[in-house]
Chain A
Amino acid sequence: MSKKETAAAAAVVQTPEYVPVDSDFVLKNDESALAIDENFAAQSFWKDALIRFVRKTSALVGLVLIVLITILAAAGPGMNKYSYSEQNLNEKNLAPRVPGLEKTGMFDGHETMKTSSGHTKINSYVDKGLKDVYYWFGSDNFGRDIWTRTWEGARVSLIIAVAAAIIDMIIGMSYGLISGYFGGRVDMIMQRILEIANGIPRLVIVTLLLLILKPGMITIIFALMLTEWISMSRIARAEMLKLKEREFVLASRTLGAGSFFIIFREILPNIIGPIITQVMFSVPTAIFTEAFLSFVGLGIPVPQCSLGSLISDGFNSFTTHSYQIVPPIIVMALLMLSFNLVADGLREALDPTLKEM
């Protein structure tokens, strides 16, 4: 109740001796309106969550973006004649040139080169006599098409990130649930292990692992998994502590349910909301960690690429051919943004207490 209404109520009280008459009370006389009885109980939790999710525009935008990027990551590399690994040293470092748009002077393949004598505008397509050659996002140091590589990289990054996040979820969730459920000494030991695992710098673990194992996507997923499960297990444990003394757990236990039945069949479905949200948040983290590994030179083996390795390649040409770093950065930023938006949307959708602001 806001203050204004309270004030109004006070005003009514001050009005002296009002005697109500019959005309003050009339039937609303709208049978149809009366008949409508919104029955929330009829809707399942998930349907309800879906409705809440769809109502949130930002989350929808995020979802659409993820779908769009996924489609492009799947189909993008096939949309022109170039392959992600084929080099053409004669056509290297060409600025973006797009058919149609080139007439506007924007994407016509020119770039400004800063030489020691000043800025010069050059168009390597014209200089090299390349007439019908179009690199939509430009070409890199080896004459590879950045468009193709960006989507190829997005594909690799998405696979790595989603796989790592799902494996994290399984391991971290189980660990957290078990630790939280049993409590006492089990919890104490499991938490010490966690503390130790967390105390060793990730970089040390990950680089060692990449040095020992054969480099490749599986190794990177494994390395990410090793470091990312911890935060997941924390959340699962916290949720478990909240729920394990609840009546339905007690009921299940008195009915003779075993510990693992209670953990995975009774409690897990009740905490799936925060877990899914955490997965959504850990996807961007995984993309980021992979990017860092690329920077240290331990990323995906060349000529394969990921968004991270593309950014670190582009980084090396930042002051010379700055257009090379732009596409992977934008795709990465959009992915990060959309995963975060979806995660936010999910959190609000799955946790109705947050709903009314």
Chain B
Amino acid sequence: MKKKKAVVAAALCVVMAGSVLAGCGGGSASTAESGAAAGESGAASSVEASTDDLNVMVETPVESLDPQQATDGTSFEVIADYTDGLMQMDAEGKPINAIAKDYKVSDDGLTYTFTLRDDAKWSNGEPVTAKDFVFGWQRAVDPAVASEYNYMLSDIGQVKNAADIIGGKKDKSELGVKAVDDTTLEVQLNVPVSYFLSLMYFPTFYPVNEEFFNSCKDTFATSPDTVLSNGAFILDDYQPAATAFHLKKNPDYYNADSVKLAGLNYQVIQDSQTALMNYQSGSLDTTLVNGEQVDQVKDDPAFQTIGAGYLWYVTPNVSKVKELANKNIRMALTMAIDREAITTDVLKDGSIPTYTAVPLQFATGPDGSDFSGDQDKFKDVCAYDADKAAEYWKKGLEELGIDKLSLSMVVDSDDAPKKVATVLKEQWEKALPGFEVTLDVKPKKQRVEQLQDGDFELGLTRWGPDYADPMTYLGMWYTDNPNNYGLWSNADYDKIIDECTKGETAQDPEKRWTTLYDAEKIVMDDAVILPLYTQANAEMISPSVTGIEFHPVALNRVYKNAVKAASK
């Protein structure tokens, strides 16, 4: 996978010079239905701001506050609350200057020179310098640190020597990042990476003060005393894996005037019913709602659905299960799925039924349109049609010489996937006579491992975009890609992908775009995956709160521009 990503990323940088990219952050910032929250921070400034904290909830505890160790959404969100990188995300998800006040790109696109602002300070009074970035980045690739997201520097970021350092072939001091002086940071890349700036808001690229780090050593980032803030807030109450923690406004933040909140009060709530009760009793300003609760609140003006970027799909093991190697069987499976029923009757959270191999609302083409905006183009091969599905099924069974088939599907033990799987089973068994599905419910970690080991028949899984290009999905079905769980292989497909990454097409954005459609068509026509829906989250956001920015990936929620109106 790493090798593949390297190729893909290398090509991307050449190609996408012109296209507007949000990098790992994904495209559209928010699909909020009412649009109340996002993008109105300007208008909101007229409202008298409350001196209260903003009370927010997350579903999972923070796994790590170490920017180079964190891998989960909650951790990223909290780290970004109190740390600024060179760039941060704006409301649209585009990179804007943060610690960097200016940057220069060399003509060959291989050298980035960032000029740092001189008024950025750590919360212990030390200035934020270029050295802090060098130290942070070196940690990210240091094999001794073993950061799980080190591929952000090597494969995706293409920082010089990153791959070799991770592989243990070079020393970390040889990383292509240099502090020319305190306020000048110079980055060397292997190949031009057009979306490089948008990687800068990713916490893996955040600075770490070396002196402070050495004074904490093993306890770094495990308590308020062992983290330094250079961002909008300061962490003042936190314990590892805490269910409640607190951040207060950072008075020394270089942009402190624009931060209206007095603080952030986080609460980890795993049970959605408890969460909604808290929202309704006023102790939370925002909350996630799920499934059945949506019926209770859908007419509330505070109710919004926000795109989450993930594509959920069923992956059939075409290499190991001979029945699934039969195309007619796969066609029958995908056409027997009523995706509308799943999203409107079961999930209800605003998830969008998806009939393409690339999810909606994250990859924008040269002409500014959504890569998967047209959901009808593959409808003839995957739209719900029970009769046609049964026909394919009959044909498939005949070819296989069987009249019954039972398969198992591995599923996460989380609530939503379990519900979806239950419905899928019923839809399949109803539409396809002689078909029996057993659901193998496993904790997520086990599920992922089973898929990676090829130890499955059908798998219900999801994939979030790493960068805003269809290739983050289409690259997965390249022969031998580790995320090609079913080990499907098609020479024509590989040729197109090669063509779009290394070939001439890679140089021509328009042509590449249409060629990628051809690749997607092969995947869809052959029913390599059974796409289900593009995930969205249903949220309640108190009408007194404006300016919370939502992003599908990287920093899911950004609060520093949020305003909470004073209660009367």
- Asked if A351 is at the interface of the complex by the 8 Å CB criterion, the answer is no
Give chain A residues whose Cβ lies under 8 Å from the Cβ of B446: 211
B367 in the interface, Cβ–Cβ < 8 Å? Answer: no
| A-contacting 9-mer, from B19-27, B143-151, B435-443 | B435-443
Let me know if B425 is at the binding interface, CB within 8 A.
Answer: yes
B346 CB contacts on chain A under 8 angstroms? 89, 141-142
User: In this complex, what residue of A is CB-closest to B280?
Assistant: A116
A114 to B295, CA, bound (A): 9
For A86, A93, A214, A320, which residue has the most chain B Cβ atoms within 10 angstroms? A320
Whether the Cβ atoms of A302 and B441 lie closer than 8 Å is yes
Shortest C-beta distance, A144 to chain B (Å), equals 9
Q: How far is the CB of A265 from chain B (nearest CB, A)?
A: 45
Say whether B544 faces chain A, with CB atoms less than 8 Å apart.
no
Q: Which residues of B contact A142 (CB under 8 A)?
A: 346, 419, 422-423, 426
> Is residue A99 within 8 Å, beta carbon to beta carbon, of the partner chain?
no
Q: Is the interface of B mostly helix, strand, loop or mixed?
A: helix
**How far does the alpha carbon of A319 sit from the alpha carbon of B276 in the complex, in Å?**
10
Q: Interface size (B, Cβ < 8 Å)?
A: 32
Q: From A117, which residue of chain B is reached at the shortest CB distance?
A: B299
> Once bound together, how far apart are the Cα atoms of A318 and B415, in whole Å?
15
Q: With A85-B426, A319-B293 as given contacts, are A297 and B418 in contact (CB-CB < 8 Å)?
A: yes
Choice from A116, A117, A141, A298 contacting B291 with Cβ under 8 Å: A141
A321 within 8 A of B: yes
Q: Does B341 contact A (CB under 8 A)?
A: yes
- Nearest residue (CB) in A for B426 is A87
Asked if A183 is at the interface (CB within 8 A of a chain B CB), the reply is: no
Query: Which residues from chain B contact A116 at a C-beta distance below 8 Å?
Result: 280, 296-297, 299-300, 302
Which residues of chain A in 301-357 are interfacial with respect to chain B, using CB atoms and an 8 Å cutoff? 301-303, 316-321
Bound Cα distance from A37 to B86, whole angstroms: 103
Residue B10 at the chain A interface, CB threshold 8 Å: no
Within 8 Å of chain B (Cβ to Cβ): is A113? Answer: yes
B422→A318 contact, CB < 8 A: no
User: B472 at interface (Cβ–Cβ under 8 A)?
Assistant: no
Measured between beta carbons, the chain B residues less than 8 angstroms from A316 are 273, 291-292, 415
- Cβ of A86: which chain B residues have Cβ within 8 Å of it? 426
Query: In the complex the two chains form, is B297's CB within 8 Å of A302's CB?
Result: no
Residues of chain B within 8 A (CB-CB) of A114 are 296
Mask of B272-304 contacts with A, CB within 8 angstroms, 1/0:
010011001000000000011101110110100
Given contacts A115-B299, A301-B438, contact A141 B426 (CB under 8 A): no
Q: In the complex where A89-B346, A116-B299, A302-B439 touch, is A141 in contact with B273 (Cβ < 8 A)? A: no
CA separation between A185 and B465, bound complex, in Å? 64
How many angstroms between the C-alpha atoms of A1 and B418 in the bound complex? 68
User: B426–A320 contact, CB under 8 A?
Assistant: no
Question: Are B440 and A215 neighbours in the complex by a CB distance under 8 Å?
Answer: yes
- Residue-wise interface mask of B (103-141) relative to A, using a CB-CB cutoff of 8 A (1 in contact, 0 not): 000000000000000000000000000000000000000
Task: Tell me the minimal C-beta distance from B436 to chain A in angstroms.
Answer: 11
Distance to closest chain B CB from A277 (angstroms)? 36
Please indicate which of the listed interface residues A86, A116, A117 has the most CB atoms of chain B within 10 Å of its own CB: A116
A207 to chain B: closest residue by CB: B443
Is B48 close to A, CB under 8 A?
A: no
Minimum C-beta distance from A293 to chain B (A)? 11
Q: Which of B276, B297, B422, B425 has the most CB atoms of chain A within a 10 A radius of its CB? A: B422
User: Which of B273, B296, B415, B419 is the one whose CB lies under 8 Å from A113?
Assistant: B296
Q: Among B292, B425, B438, point to the contact of A93 (Cβ < 8 A).
A: B292
Is residue B421 contacting chain A, with contact meaning CB distance below 8 A?
yes
Q: How many residues of A contact B (CB 8 A)?
A: 27
Give bound CA distance, A339 to B312, whole Å: 45
Residues on the B chain within 8 Å of A87, using CB: 422-423, 426
**In the complex, which residues 437-496 of chain B have their Cβ closer than 8 Å to any Cβ of chain A?**
438-443, 446
Q: What is the predominant secondary structure among interface residues of chain A facing chain B?
A: loop
Picked from A141, A298, A302, A319, the residue with its CB within 8 Å of the CB of B421 is A302
Point out the residue from B292, B345, B421 that lies within 8 Å of A321, measured CB to CB. Answer: B292
A117 to B299, CA, bound (A): 8
Q: Does A110 contact B (CB under 8 A)?
A: no
Give the CA-CA distance A320 to B291 in the complex, in Å. 10
- Give the distance in Å from the alpha carbon of A298 to the alpha carbon of B441 in the complex: 8
Q: Which residue of A lies closest to B298 (CB)?
A: A115
A303 to B422, CA, bound (A): 7
Are B295 and A113 closer than 8 Å at their CB atoms?
yes
A264 and B300 alpha carbons, distance in the complex (Å): 70
Q: Which chain B residue has the least Cβ–Cβ distance from A115?
A: B296
CB distance from A84 to the nearest CB of B (A): 12
Given the known A-B contacts A297-B413, A297-B441, A319-B276, are A303 and B292 also in contact in the complex, defined by CB atoms under 8 Å?
A: no
Give Cα A331–Cα B297 distance, bound, in whole angstroms.
32
B544 CB, nearest partner CB in chain A, Å: 15
Task: For the complex formed, measure the closest distance between the CB of A214 and the CB atoms of chain B, giving whole angstroms.
Answer: 8
| CB of A244 within 8 Å of the partner chain | no
Nearest-Cβ distance from residue A130 to partner chain B, whole angstroms: 16
CB-based contact A117/B300 at 8 Å = yes
- Contact flag A301-B441 (CB < 8 Å), given A115-B299, A116-B300, A316-B273: yes
Question: Closest CB-CB distance, A311 to chain B, in whole Å?
Answer: 14
Q: Which of B378-410 contact A (CB under 8 A)?
A: none
Contact with A along B338-355 (1 / 0, CB 8 A): 000100011000000000
**Shortest Cβ distance from residue A336 to the other chain B in the assembled complex, whole angstroms:** 25
Contact with B along A286-304 (1 / 0, CB 8 A): 0000000000011001110
Residue in B295, B300, B423, B425 whose beta carbon sits within 8 Å of that of A320 in the complex: B295
* 13 additional contacts (CB under 8 A) given A115-B296, A321-B292: A113-B295, A115-B297, A141-B292, A141-B419, A211-B443, A215-B441, A301-B439, A302-B418, A302-B439, A303-B425, A316-B273, A319-B276, A320-B293
B residues contacting A by CB (< 8 A) are 273, 276-277, 280, 291-293, 295-297, 299-300, 302, 341, 345-346, 413, 415, 418-419, 421-423, 425-426, 438-443, 446
Please list 8 pairs of residues, one from A and one from B, whose beta carbons are closer than 8 Å in the complex, sorted by A's number. Answer: A89-B346, A93-B292, A115-B295, A116-B300, A142-B423, A303-B422, A319-B277, A320-B292
List 6 tightest A-B contacts by C-beta distance, closest first: A297-B413, A116-B300, A320-B292, A89-B345, A87-B426, A319-B273
